[in-house]
Amino acid sequence: MQQTSTSSTGMSGPQPGTFRVEDAREMMISGLRNAHGLEQQAIEMLERNSERLEHYPELQARIAQHLKESRQQQALVAQALEDLGESPSTLKDTVMGLVQNVQMMTHAAASDEVLKNSFAGYAFEHFEIASYTALMVMARAAGEARVEQVAQQILAQEEEMASWLEQHLPEIVSQHLVLMQSGEQKR
């Protein structure tokens, strides 16, 4: 019979004694490196997406907020790596498949760019949610409470951004239609 241990956050992890702590630590460090690269992609994407949003002030403000958060997140991840004795200068910013696809989507400067960027941003936030959820499990298994706490803190911000986008997408689409009718937004 298999048992799962559940923490106060409701997340399960592997049972002690069923895995090697060194493996968890190695995965956690590689997870932190990937997170650093992911935040770099996020920062670049949010910087690009915040342009030409004068007709979407709420979206613009939320993107500006998340850009600021993403810079702080990247700094937290870099600090966590440094605390583990991993030099930030050796960081390789891994570009993952989905991230590349998301970037290709956002490169297209079409009239419905704001919609495509919103879809891509939504997908990206969920990629980050998956990454930080995994990082939390790895950190817990490695016995690195500080890294677990950092991952949890960042995860909460990604979840907030994802749910904001989900809630506001209908308004963004409506606004896009209104702007098309008024000629403010080209077809």
- Subset of residues 58 to 77 that bind Fe ion, contact rule: CB under 5 A: 70, 73
- In terms of CB distance, is 113 or 128 closer to Fe ion? 128
- In terms of CB distance, is 34 or 73 closer to Fe ion? 73
* Per-residue interface string for the shown chain with Fe ion, residues 82-111, x marking contact by CB under 5 A: ------------------------------
Q: Which residues of 70-103 are buried (b: 16+ CB within 10 A; e: fewer)?
A: beebbebbbebbeeeeeeeeebeeeeeeebeebb
CB of 161 to Fe ion, least distance (A): 8
DSSP 100-164: HHHHHHHH---TTHHHHHHHHHHHHHHHHHHHHHHHHHHHHHHT-HHHHHHHHHHHHHHHHHHHH
| Count of CA atoms in the C-beta half-sphere (13 A) of 86 | 19
CB of 27 to Fe ion, least distance (A): 20
**Residue 136 identity:** M
Pairwise CA distance, residues 70 & 124, whole Å: 12
Pairwise CA distance, residues 96 & 102, whole Å: 10
CB of 116 to Fe ion, least distance (A): 20
CB of 73 to Fe ion, least distance (A): 5
* Per-residue interface string for the shown chain with Fe ion, residues 106-145, x marking contact by CB under 5 A: ----------------------x-----------------
- Subset of residues 29 to 48 that bind Fe ion, contact rule: CB under 5 A: 42
- In terms of CB distance, is 113 or 158 closer to Fe ion? 158
- In terms of CB distance, is 78 or 179 closer to Fe ion? 78
Q: Footprint of Fe ion on this chain (CB under 5 A)?
A: 42, 70, 73, 128
